[in-house]
Every structure is written in structure tokens, then in C-alpha cells.
Structure 1
Amino acid sequence: MKALQLHPKDNVIIALQELEAGTSIAINDKTYTVTEKIPAKHKFLAEDLQTGGLIYMYGEVVGSVSQSMHCGQLINTSNTVHASSPYSYQGYRHQWEAPDLSRFKNRTFKGYHRTDGRVGTANYWLFIPTVFCENRNLDILKEAMLENLGYSISNPYKDYVAHLVDAYNNGQTLSEFTLDNPIRPTERRLFKNIDGIKFLRHEGGCGGTREDAQMLGKLLAAYIDHPNVAGATILGLGCENLQLQLLLDELKQRNPTLDKPILHFEQQAVGTETMLLEKAMTGTFNALIEANKIERQEAPLSKLVLGVKCGGSDGFSGISANPSIGYTSDLLVGLGGSVLLAEFPELCGVEQQLLDRMRNPEHADKFVKLMESYGQAAEKIGSGFHMNPSPGNIKDGLITDAMKSNGAAKKGGNSPIVDVLDYTEPITHTGLNLVCTPGNDVEATTGKAASGATLILFTTGLGTPTGNPICPTLKIATNDQVATRMKDIIDFSTGGVISGQKSIQEMGEDILELCIKTASGEIVPKAVQLQQDDFIPWKRGISL
């Protein structure tokens, strides 16, 4: 198949491979002839349009033409602008039936059970600074502890630089040499049931606004409370905006019955840096001995909380990877589990679809207010959701935000929306939840984990090396080419959907199998192996 029309209402056709000018394409008893070269993943018009004419894709408005255009022409940023339909809550107007669950009935995963009933897919210990002033101490602890406790990874690039130095000193021509398995985790972990020690380095906690400090406190409390976390060591200075007690108060408000070990030290109260680090290391080591006693046990799939995210998206994202994990999402919801769909700038243009899936008017009102206030704040500084597509998105066929958003929303599947969460708010209802975050890869994954995602599926068409400190992140490619070219960061490819070798349903089931193995610790995602512990707090300023 050379091209695809996604919906009968669509007046654009997607090129699945490069089409030369003059190529004829037959779709649904109609034949179209392209009038210019159409790169793979890009779109051409299926009808003539006058200036201002609307472009439909996925059956929705995704843009309008800024000049008169003819059938067969390539749509691009020079002739197309962002456009989307108005929206309002009109009550629940959605019908959904769970997919066939027989393959996964009574299936389980092996997770870490917490006393409050939640189940983690990993067991991490956290080191958290209340302020950036403690980042140096965090770096010292990281260097000292990871190596000796068996959590460090090899760094063959040191050998590479040594090779370059030797060549230079010997007057030889600098040349490349092959790195043998560049990154390898150590195999001598002291604590077998502690999956890692993570350091949440950040640049906040003082300066800025008090609101920034309070939001950071909520975020750090969410990470400590997370089911993938065994306990935490907090380092404070003493005079910062984010006072230690403020963080502890946020933690108590979030989970009044939390019984995890929480160690905390303030440098100005303890004294010297040496004394602070000694106390932190000794206390943490003793706590790790206790935390190591918990072991993985069987848990129903209903205990999984799946965060779905896309980044480095391409023209195939909304065709292969996103709808595939959307089917995975529907399977998990049907099994009683939960899914978090975020990235509010990338829900622009699909608001009505989402509102129609909300039974609760309060959730709809909250969603509209969050979307409108976010969009207005962006416009006040001369930006807007319409400026969301990145240069990489545009180059690969996603030329308007509504076009990108309609494909991005496919990650959430088709089940009803049970709740709308603001940034850092915890999930309390099983099913599909919306979470207010930016579209920015790391800010979004940071926010998903804060709301309780215990596993993240991250789709990419261009290749994105993103991970999270506490939430195992699986990278799902939209096409086989990027999966092969960037095999060191990609875990799974949905390219079979594009080639026609697999259906969306088959691919979605395969991805759920991958999730079960990852949640059980049988598969370690590439992002975890590479220690891609990306963590960026959102200050609620404008970030798209």
C-alpha cells in the first residue's frame, strides 16, 4: 500500500512511501494523481480547496489552506495553517465496548506490594535535595554509592578518549575505533531487591516565586509517595524557600498513612559537609538493608498504572505506534487497570472528542478551564498551542498542532474518561485519566510519574532518548527504520502496522505482553539500562 486515507470524511491522503509527481493512487473506488513529489509521511489534498478551506484528517478539522489549492498538491507550512473546531460539554455522548480480553484474563505481573494496596513495578531508593544548593552533595553521594553498591554502568567512552590522546601524543592520525557494547550495567548489585538508587537533581527550591517552591514540594512529595519508591533521603540547606518542613507537610497531606522510611538532614544544622554526608550515607545504608527485604509478588493487571507519551513524533505516529498503545490502553482499562494521558498542548483540536467521553460534568468543566487558562497564558507571551509542532515534527509531516494532537490522542484509546488531574494530583480512579502537563518530553514524563504512572510507554518516530528516574519507560518506535538505526534506545517497533504485517489489535496485544514482562522485572527497558533518569519540574510558566 502506497497511501492511506484514515477516515471517510478526510480530504487529505497520507503517503506511506515517497510518491513521484504523476503517480496515481486508487483509494475507495477513487483515483488521485499527485501533482508534485510527496515525501513519505506527508499528505496531499484529495480535493480542490479555496483559500480558507478546511482540512480534515482523522475525521476532524486539523487546519485550513492559506491559498487556493488543487487535488494532488502537497500540504505544508507555506500553504496550510492551524485550525480546529470549537468545543463545549454536551453530556456523555460515547459508546465503548472493551476489546477481547480473553488472552489476558487472570494474567498477573510480579510487583512490589505496598501497605496501602498499591503495587510498584520497581523498587527504588531516592535522594532528594530541597534546593539546588545541595546538588553538589548529591553528586558526591551518587559517585560514592552507585559504584560501591553495584548500580553504576560501564563507561567505555573513557577508553575512546584515551585512544584519541594516545594517537595525538604519538603523532598519529586521529581515527575511530569500534566500541564493544558501549553501556553495560554492573552485575554485582549488593541489594538484589533494590532496583536502583536515584538522585532527583533539580535547579529549584529557592529564588523564583514561593509558588514555584510550593509546586516543587508537591512534586517531590509525589515521587516519595510513589509505589515504585521504597524510601527516600532528603538533603536540605536550611534557609531555602522550600523548607524541609514544607516538603514533609506536603507528603503528609498527600498520604497521611505513609509508612516508608524517610531520612532528612539539613546542612546548616548538622555542621560540616563531611558530617552531613557521613550521616546521610550511614542512615541510607541501614535503611536499604530493611528495604531490600521486600520481594516481587504476583499482582493482578488491574494494579498497573500506564502512562502514555509521544515525543520526536513523525507522520506515522498517529497511524502505527499511538493507536497501537491506544489499543493496549483499552485492554488495560478493560482489565480494571489505569491509563494516564497527558500533554495538554497536544490535545488541542480533540477537545470535543474527549469531552464527549466524560460522564461527570465537573471533570468536563475542569478540563475546559485547564485547557483555556493554559492556552491563554501561552498567547499572553506571544506564543500559543498552534506553535507546538517542532521543526522535526514539521519536517516529518506534522505541520499543524491539531494534526499532531489528533494523532497524539490515539494513545489513550477509546474508553470513557474517568477523571481530569491537574499537575502532581494523584490518580484516585481506575480507568483513563487526563493529566495536565506540557507536551515537553521530560516535563510530561515527570508529571505522569507524579500522578502515579508505574510504567510509561513512550512512542517516537524520530528517536528520543528519554527516561524517568522511578518509572520504567519503554520506547516504542513508529517505524522499523528508526528502531534499527537507534537500536540502543528503542525497545519495540510498530513498523509492522505500516507494512501491513500486523494489525493495530495484534500490535496492541504484543505491547501489553511487553508491559507485563517489564512490570515483572523480566525485561529492563533501554532507558533504565542507560540510566536516562530525566527529571524536569514544571514551574507552571509557559512550556509547550
Structure 2
Amino acid sequence: MASQLLKIHPSDNVIVALRDLPVNADVAWAGSHYSLPYGVSAKHKFVTEDIETGGAIIMYGVLVGRASQPIKKGEPITTFNLKHDSQDYSTANRQPYSYVQPDVSKWEGRTFRGYHREDGRVGTYNYWLVVPLVFCENRNVLIMKDAFERELGYAQTDIYREHVRDFLHLYQNGDLRTIKSMEAFTEREPVRKKQERPFKNVDGVKFLTHEGGCGGTRADANTLCALFAAYAVHPNVAGITVLSLGCQNSELKTLEDEIKKRDPNFNKPFFAFEHQKGTEYSLMSGAIKETFMGVAKINEFERSDAPLSKLSVGLKCGGSDGFSGISANPVLGHLSDIVVGLGGQTLLAEFPELNGVEQELLNRCVTEEKAAKFEKLMRDYAGKAEAVGSAFAFNPSPGNIKDGLITDAIKSAGAARKGGNAYISDVLNYTERATESGLQLVCTPGNDVEATTGQTAAGANIILFTTGLGTPTGNPICPVAKVATNTTLANRMPDVIDFDCGPVVDGTQSLEQNAEALLEYVIRVASGELTKAQQLGQDDFIPWKRGVSL
């Protein structure tokens, strides 16, 4: 029988309930017995000793909060008796760090089928990208999107339009009663028809929209250009079309300069069109013609074998629960250590969700210079939040708290486990490109889409996204695979979840076994197997304006 309890770190003074524990239950862990005066729901924690007001709560071996009132042995921690607190940190206090790299010999020689680019990187998909430099061009981008996707076979099956059509037919025949009673109709599994695609080697033409480029600060406009430049040089992008109004803050020259900064030898097809030089028709007809010719050109690329060292794996969590730091996140951590051991890249983002584990991460940085960069980015970010009356401590959502993540430090300590144990080879600011192998920290918000948008800009060619509550987040050019922390979620949302880490909680698989099964899945996705988010057309894209976003 699987255990009901888990104590994560020897120094912890809380124990996690893996099952619902009733009032007055007597439970045991490592020779100690606990009588529970209150019920403890699965994913929540109870204390192993009496805690006085102001006493420290330790979980994952780090400070995650302080008691706001006395907590008796066996009582659960809640928002009523616990307040966020975390360990201070400093580059000056760095301690020696070492870790034992896992044995990766069984993965050496393994390959995935990707698209080799002239800069040496390998794409997991082959996309053409269409972007507006300013929100004024969103309508034109969406018109192009409708035309290209429908005519080239990339459009999603319009099952919901079929719903409306069926309902309209019933309404026109005076049958509103039937619509009201059609529960089975609304719950039936949709059939998504696969369309014929004339360009077999082009995985899609992707169209981005946004609300920026003008009217905000010049810094925001320049950051937007840097973000688009990062997407242009991304290995999953083979060519790009840019629509510009002409007078906006996000200038075409700035975009071109940012591209050259990231890739001085950039030679992908690049077409730019300015609206103010003529009519909408001339803009659109020219953009459509050149884009079509570009798509035909990149259709010449074909997948071929690439070593696993060419993987760049984004590590992300969202809709987290009390099992995130126990199952899915440490599974990603072990996978990250394997990929790093093979010479690949892994990218850990979401700086507000590294709150409380900064010192450990500083210790793991390969140089003091990189540690200092991480410290500065964290302090600047936290300072901006505090300046507007917020703080990293406000990060947990109501859903996080309900499912056991009582403080941001608890959430962060579990979230950081996605980064495994490897040394941190580099620290990247938002829109900076990853050029080193190994584990890297990427400055992004915790916001799901802002984070995946930023990880993709850093160069992730696949993102693993752990979730305990369920979230459909995707990205236009980087496949995002959803990894469930528990089997209940995987069964409840099978159209969203790609991989289940529930066996780690159930005790039917070890963390290492589950991680290796996940890596096999990553290889299949990198070779062209579509994630659920890709199947749903979940192309989420939100630029971060570098303001306060947690």
C-alpha cells in the first residue's frame, strides 16, 4: 500500500498528507506518531512539533513561513496560522556546492528528428512567422491568418461553429426545448478532422498579435523588438514576415538591429511591409505573395537525426498544487540533470517563484559574476513589486492556496525542484538568447503565458509545463507539453494533459523511472509528435512589459 505521508527533507518540521486524513487520525512517520486534531486534506501539511508564534516553518529544508499564532503538534498549516517568510540571500554568502551527475550512458547516441539550421541549432518544428510591429496591424495579421490557415490546411476544425449551426437549425424549427435538454450533445468528444496540407515539411504558419508597439514607453517598444528578434532567430522559425504601420515606437530598424545582435550572420527569409506607404490592399497582397513564396521555400527543409545535446528544454509550472513539488517538478529536475549531462540546455524561469531558494541557486552558479547577475535581477524585480504595494509573497493564487501552497516560499521551494541539482551555467535577462549548454535561469514573471513567451525567446525548442490543477497554455512556435502532478487530473483533462507523474505519488513508479519515461516522450515531441496544446491550436503569446507581473 502506498504511503499516506511524506517528509521531504530531514530538517523539515512539516509532513505532507498524500491522502485525505480524517479528524483524530493517528498516523506514523519514521517511528514518530501523530494524532491529528483536525482533518488534513491531501496535499496539505501538518507540523511535527509545537510551534510558537513567530516560530519557523521549514519545508524542502528551507524557511517557508512563520507561525502567526501557536500551532500544536499534528495541526495543519493554513493561511490563518502561517505567514510567508523566507531566507535572506547574498552573493557574498555563497557556499561551495557540488553534485553528482546522473549516469546518462543509456541516452548517449540517442537522437531526435529535427530541422538543422545554419547557426548549428536544431529546430523541433519548422514554422513561418508573421508578426505586427504595432497593435494597429493586428487586424491585417488576423486576416492573413484566416486566409493562410484555411487554404493551406492549418486551420483547426471548427467544431464549435458546428455546435452553433446545429443549434440555429433547431431554433429555426422552433425546437428550443431540445437544445435545453441536449446534455449529451455538449459533452460528446469532438472529432477533429485532419486537413490536407500541400506543404508537408512546414509545420505551420504562425501569426502573433499583441497590444504594444506604440503609446507605451520607448523601453517597452524596444523590448518588444528584442522579443520578436529572439523569435526570428529561434531554431523553430525558418522565415518571418513583419507588418509595420510606419510611425510607431517599435521601429523596423530596431528589430533588424536586435536580430543582428543575436545572430550577426542571420540569413533567413525576412519580409517587411509598411502600411503607410500605400493602400491596405497593396500591403496585404504584397505580404501574402511573399509569405506564400517563403513558405514554399522552407518546405525544402526536412527532418534528420540530431543528438539530444541539441535539445533546449524550458522548465515551467502553472496551476500548481501541493503535489507539484513532490512529483512533477522533481521529475522535471531529474530530466533536466540528464539533458544537462548530455550537453543540452534547460531553462528555469519564473523569478517570483524562486523566492526563498535564492541562496541555494546563488551557490550553484558557476561563477560569482553570474551569481551577482541573478541577485541583481531578483532584487530589482522584487523592489519594483514592493514599490507599488505588492510583493513576491502575493504570488500564490487562490487555487494554489486551496491545494496546499500556503505561502510563496512553499510554492517557490517546490517550483525550484524543476531545476534539478546541476550547476547553473548562465543567467539570462528577458529576451536574452541562451548560448551556453547546461541549466540556465531566465528572468520572466510567473504568469504562465508571459513565462512561456520568455522561455521561447531564450531558445527553448520544447517546454515541459507541470500542473496540478490543469491549464491549457501553449506557444505559437515552441511545443508546450503539459505534465500532470496527479493521475486524477490526467484522467479529468485528457485533452490538455500530455504526461502523468501521478505514479510517483501512488508509489507505482520511482521519480527516476517516471523522468526517463518523460524523456522518451520529449524525444517523440521533438521529432514531430504533437502536444495536446498544439492539437488544440493553443498559440498563447503575451510580451512582458517589464512592469510588475507576478
Q: Name the TM-score class by shorter chain.
A: over 0.9
User: Aligned ranges for residues 75-90 of structure 1 at < 5 Å?
Assistant: 75-89=77-91, 90=93
| Maintained 8 Å contact 2:94/2:359 | no
Cα displacement (A) at 1:164: 2.6
Per-residue displacement from partner, 1:125-172 (whole Å, max 9, x unpaired)? 000100000000011101111010010111111221223333333143
Q: Name the aligned partner's letter for residue 100 of structure 1.
A: D
Decide which of 258, 272, 276 is 1:264's aligned counterpart.
272
Is 1:526 equivalent to 2:532 in the alignment? yes
What residue identity is the alignment partner of 1:513? E
The amino acid that maps onto 1:417 is I
Corresponding residue for residue 380 of structure 2: 373
Alpha-carbon contact 1:92-1:358 (below 8 Å) kept:
no
3-state secondary structure, aligned to 2:533: helix
Rounded Cα–Cα distance in structure 1 between residues aligned with 2:23 and 2:192: 48
Contact 1:153/1:183 (8 A) holds in 2: no
Equivalent residues of 1:156, 1:179 under 8 A apart: no
**Residue deviations 1:369-422, cap 9 Å, x none?**
110110011001000000000010000000100000000000011000001000
Pick one of 163, 175, 188 that aligns with 2:166.
163
Runs of 4+ in 1 over 6 A off after TM superposition: none
Does residue 7 (structure 1) correspond to residue 14 (structure 2)? The answer is no
| C-alpha separation in 1, matches of 2:298 and 2:206 | 15
Match of 2:196 in 1: 188
- Partner amino acid, structure 2, of 1:45: V
SS class of match (1:356): helix
Candidates 27, 36, 41, aligned match of 1:25: 27
How many pairs does the alignment contain?
Answer: 542
Counterpart residue identity of residue 72, structure 1: G
In the alignment, structure 1 residue 359 sits paired with structure 2 residue 361:
no
Distance 2:181 2:292 in 1: 44
Report the Cα distance in structure 2 between the residues aligned to 1:172 and 1:327, rounded to whole angstroms. Answer: 55
Shift of 1:266: 0.3
Contact 1:155–1:182 at 8 Å: present in 2 too? Answer: no
1:491 to 2:495 alignment = no
Q: Are the counterparts in 1 of residues 13 and 59 from structure 2 also a CA contact under 8 Å?
A: yes
Question: Contact between 1:302 and 1:332, CA under 8 Å: does it hold in 2?
Answer: yes
Q: Secondary structure at the match of 2:371?
A: helix
Amino acid at match of 2:176: Q
Q: Is 2:159–2:192's contact at 8 Å kept on the other side of the alignment?
A: no
Instruction: Show the counterpart of 1:219.
Output: 227
1:209 aligns with 217
Residues 1:95 and 2:93 are matched in the alignment: no
CA contact (8 A) 1:152 1:186 kept: no
TM-score (norm 1): 0.98
Distance 1:178 1:525 in 2: 24
Mapped to 1, the partners of 2:65 and 2:283 lie a distance apart of 58
* 1:172 aligned residue: 176
Contact 1:12 1:46 in 2 (8 A): yes
Distance 1:484 1:506 in 2: 20
Q: Which residue of 2 aligns with 1:107?
A: 110
Provide the C-alpha distance between the structure 2 equivalents of 1:135 and 1:124, rounded to a whole number of angstroms: 19
User: How many angstroms apart in 1 are the aligned matches of 2:45 and 2:193?
Assistant: 43
Contact 1:118 1:303 in 2 (8 A): yes
Taking the aligned partners of 1:391 and 1:248, their CA distance within structure 2 comes to 42
Counterpart CA distance in 2 for 1:505 and 1:137 is 48
Whichever residue aligns with residue 172 of structure 1, its letter is L
Tell me if 1:291 matches 2:298.
Answer: yes
Return 124-133 or 149-158, whichever deviates more.
149-158
Match of 1:415 among 397, 422, 425: 422
Post-superposition offset of 1:243:
1.4
Deviation of 1:179 after TM superposition, in Å, equals 6.0
- List aligned pairs for 1:292-311, cutoff 5 A: 292-311=299-318
Matched residue SS, 2:441: strand
- 1 CA distance for matches of 2:458 and 2:465? 16
Query: Structure 1: which 5+ runs fail to align?
Result: none
Match of 2:545 among 536, 539, 544: 539
Structure 1 counterpart SS, 2:464: strand
TM-score between the two structures when normalised by the length of structure 2: 0.97
Tell me the SS of whatever aligns to 2:433. coil
Q: Which amino acid aligns with 1:110?
A: R
> Structure 2: how far apart are the matches of 1:183 and 1:404?
38
Tell me, what secondary structure is at the counterpart of 1:48?
A: coil
The 2-side partners of 1:426 and 1:29 are apart by: 50
Partner of 1:231: 239
- Gapped regions of structure 2 (runs ≥ 5): none
Q: Secondary structure at the match of 1:205?
A: coil
* Structure 1 CA distance for aligned equivalents of residues 188 and 20 of structure 2: 36
* Inter-partner Cα distance in structure 1 for 2:542 and 2:356: 27
Q: C-alpha displacement at 1:91, in angstroms?
A: 4.1
> Does residue 1:41 correspond to 2:43, yes or no?
yes
The answer to whether the 8 Å contact 1:155/1:183 transfers is no
Decide which moves more: 236-245 or 86-95: 86-95
1:279 maps to 2:290:
no
Q: Give the deviation of 1:180 after TM superposition.
A: 5.4
**2-structure distance, mates of 1:464, 1:79:** 30
Tell me the SS of whatever aligns to 1:532: coil
CA distance in 1, matches of 2:191, 2:124: 23
Give yes or no for the alignment of 1:240 onto 2:248: yes
Give the match for residue 137 of structure 1. Answer: 140
Output the amino acid matched with 2:531.
P
Q: Which residue of 2 is the match for residue 313 of structure 1?
A: 320
